[in-house]
């Protein structure tokens, strides 16, 4: 196996401490959380108290000023262990960076320390019942009122961390006739009159994730709720586009980690399980299948590590990140399917990690931009004619 070179000793020490945290605070409860459909709220405050949230934020906002590799490690560890109900990644590396990058000083001071401590849980609400891939089609509106406030109306669906969320970045049209150029981002707090949570959605996988619907019925937002203030009005789409490389790479990182873990589980299983007097792993089909999967996952790991390096050097472009997202999540689904097969009937039983990993994998090809949309992005960068 090719040695990974992106991490230093401090990162590996951190990996150990995060593993201990998962062993104590997450793993023993995750199955119960899958059954209830959401994680315990304390797992957020405990993560905050241990410095595991928003690590890449500057210290003045409650972070550690850490490089992104610490967050990479969290994605890898949670997905390798199948602890997919935990939404730290989206909270720390999607929601908080929007506020850090585009927010006013006032917004940064108001929200970032609370996100870092786990006092507030963050979500981002782009998708709507009739607008997912085609975000320009969002129907939610936030229309400016004579007193400078905005009136938010609309509904969102499939929102990760949505049921627990205290702070939601909401994508809404401020100029409905302006298309992409009429879209803005708003910071909407739990408890604002007219903001209601819908039901937690029952899903094929990520069963402990509190993915929810959100409803906004005449929510009156003060002017200060516009992310970035007046300067960012109608610039929401630009902000969304700028953040895509890192968001897509997060999915690729978790896809490779989950795939490697499934291969490791399967290798252990096929060594033990006897059929026709010898281990499943002794059959050529098993050995060659695993050799092929391991080869592809190794290739994927090297590619993703290179993308991480590029990201940290601020050189990762959206097309390359889209390649990583689509190719590794397709690979993840293929790995899970083959690993389930090699487990026989036990691969269909929920108590087996490979079964859960199979269920959790499927959405990786869908969210963060579907893999078809990733191919659209790649073809555009190749100069091919568009739709």
Q: How far apart are CA 188 and CA 216, in angstroms?
A: 10
> What are the backbone dihedrals phi and psi of residue 382, each rounded to the nearest 5 degrees, phi first?
-85, -5
Q: How far apart are CA 267 and CA 166, in angstroms?
A: 42
What lies within 8 Å, CB to CB, of 331 at 6+ separation is: 255, 256, 259, 296, 297, 300
Nearer to ligand FAD, 171 or 342 (CB): 171
Q: Give the H or E element holding residue 115.
A: helix 105-117
Cβ atoms of 249 and 322 closer than 8 Å = no
Nearer to ligand FAD, 196 or 372 (CB): 372
Under rule CB under 6 A, residue 133 binds ligand FAD: yes
Neighbouring-strand partners of residue 128: 131
Cβ atoms of 91 and 111 closer than 8 Å = no
Residues in the chain: 387
Residue 20 token pair: 């201990």
Nearer to ligand FAD, 138 or 270 (CB): 138
Q: Which of 135, 137, 142, 156 is nearest to 215 (CA)?
A: 156
Under rule CB under 6 A, residue 282 binds ligand FAD: no
Binding ligand FAD (rule: CB under 6 A), the pick from 327, 363, 364, 377 is 363
Distances (CA, A) of 172 to 133, 178, 280: 15, 12, 54
Nearer to ligand FAD, 82 or 369 (CB): 369
Stretch that binds ligand FAD, among 18-26, 72-80, 338-346, 363-371 (CB under 6 A): 363-371
Binding ligand FAD (rule: CB under 6 A), the pick from 67, 175, 242, 376 is 376
Active-site residue among 213, 233, 247, 338? Answer: 247
Q: How far apart are CA 162 and CA 166, in angstroms?
A: 9
Stretch that binds ligand FAD, among 265-273, 319-327, 359-367, 378-386 (CB under 6 A): 359-367
Under rule CB under 6 A, residue 158 binds ligand FAD: yes
Cβ atoms of 215 and 198 closer than 8 Å = yes
DSSP class of 131: B
Neighbouring-strand partners of residue 122: 167
Nearer to ligand FAD, 200 or 273 (CB): 200
DSSP class of 63: S
Under rule CB under 6 A, residue 355 binds ligand FAD: no
Stretch that binds ligand FAD, among 53-61, 102-110, 327-335, 365-373 (CB under 6 A): 365-373
How many residues touch ligand FAD under the rule CB under 6 A: the total is: 21
Under rule CB under 6 A, residue 160 binds ligand FAD: yes
Stretch that binds ligand FAD, among 58-66, 95-103, 120-128, 245-253 (CB under 6 A): 120-128
Under rule CB under 6 A, residue 159 binds ligand FAD: yes
Stretch that binds ligand FAD, among 37-45, 97-105, 303-311, 361-369 (CB under 6 A): 361-369
Residue 198 token pair: 């819908």
Under rule CB under 6 A, residue 211 binds ligand FAD: yes
Under rule CB under 6 A, residue 127 binds ligand FAD: yes
Binding ligand FAD (rule: CB under 6 A), the pick from 206, 290, 335, 336 is 206
233 part of the active site? no
SS3 213: strand
> What are the backbone dihedrals phi and psi of residue 63, each rounded to the nearest 5 degrees, phi first?
-85, -165
Binding ligand FAD (rule: CB under 6 A), the pick from 100, 125, 258, 321 is 125
What lies within 8 Å, CB to CB, of 143 at 6+ separation is: 150, 151, 174
Q: How far apart are CA 94 and CA 98, in angstroms?
A: 6
Nearer to ligand FAD, 6 or 241 (CB): 241
CB closest to ligand FAD, residue no: 132
Q: Give the H or E element holding residue 83.
A: none
Nearer to ligand FAD, 126 or 335 (CB): 126
Under rule CB under 6 A, residue 126 binds ligand FAD: yes
Could you list the active site residues? 247
Interacting residues with ligand FAD (CB under 6 A): 124-127, 132-133, 158-160, 203, 206, 211, 363, 366-367, 369-370, 372-373, 376, 387
């Amino acid at each position: 196996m090719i040695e990974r070179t992106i991490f230093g000793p401090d990162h590996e020490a951190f990996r150990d401490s995060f593993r201990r945290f998962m062993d104590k605070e997450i793993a023993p409860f995750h199955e119960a959380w899958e059954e209830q459909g959401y994680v315990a709220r304390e797992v957020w405050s405990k993560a905050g108290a241990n410095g595991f949230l928003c690590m890449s934020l500057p210290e003045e906002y409650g972070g550690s000023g850490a490089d992104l590799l610490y967050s990479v490690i969290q994605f890898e560890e949670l997905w390798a262990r199948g602890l997919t109900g935990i939404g730290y990644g989206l909270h720390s590396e999607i929601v908080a960076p929007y506020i850090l990058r585009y927010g006013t000083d006032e917004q940064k001071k108001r929200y970032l320390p609370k996100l870092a401590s786990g006092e507030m849980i963050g979500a981002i609400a782009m998708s709507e019942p009739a607008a997912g891939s085609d975000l320009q089609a969002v129907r939610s509106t936030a229309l400016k009122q004579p007193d400078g406030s905005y009136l938010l109306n609309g509904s969102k669906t499939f929102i990760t961390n949505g049921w627990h969320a205290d702070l939601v970045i909401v994508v809404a049209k401020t100029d409905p006739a302006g298309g992409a150029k009429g879209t803005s981002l708003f910071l909407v707090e739990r408890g604002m009159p007219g903001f209601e949570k819908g039901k937690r959605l029952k899903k094929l996988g990520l069963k402990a994730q509190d993915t929810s619907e959100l409803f906004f019925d005449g929510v009156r937002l003060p002017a200060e709720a516009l992310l970035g203030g007046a300067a960012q009005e109608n610039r929401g789409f630009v902000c969304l586009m700028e953040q895509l490389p890192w968001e897509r790479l997060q999915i690729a990182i978790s896809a490779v980690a989950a795939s490697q873990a499934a291969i490791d589980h399967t290798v252990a299983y096929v060594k033990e399980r006897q059929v026709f007097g010898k281990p499943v792993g002794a059959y050529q089909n098993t050995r060659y299948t695993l050799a092929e999967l391991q080869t592809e996952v190794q290739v994927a790991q090297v590619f993703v590590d290179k993308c991480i390096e590029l990201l940290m050097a601020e050189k990762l472009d959206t097309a390359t990140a889209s390649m990583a997202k689509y190719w590794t999540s397709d690979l993840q689904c293929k790995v899970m399917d083959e690993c389930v097969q090699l487990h026989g009937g036990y691969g269909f039983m929920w108590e087996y990690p490979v079964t859960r990993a199979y269920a959790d994998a499927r959405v990786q090809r869908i969210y963060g931009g579907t893999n078809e949309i990733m191919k659209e992005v790649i073809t555009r960068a190749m100069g091919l004619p568009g739709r």
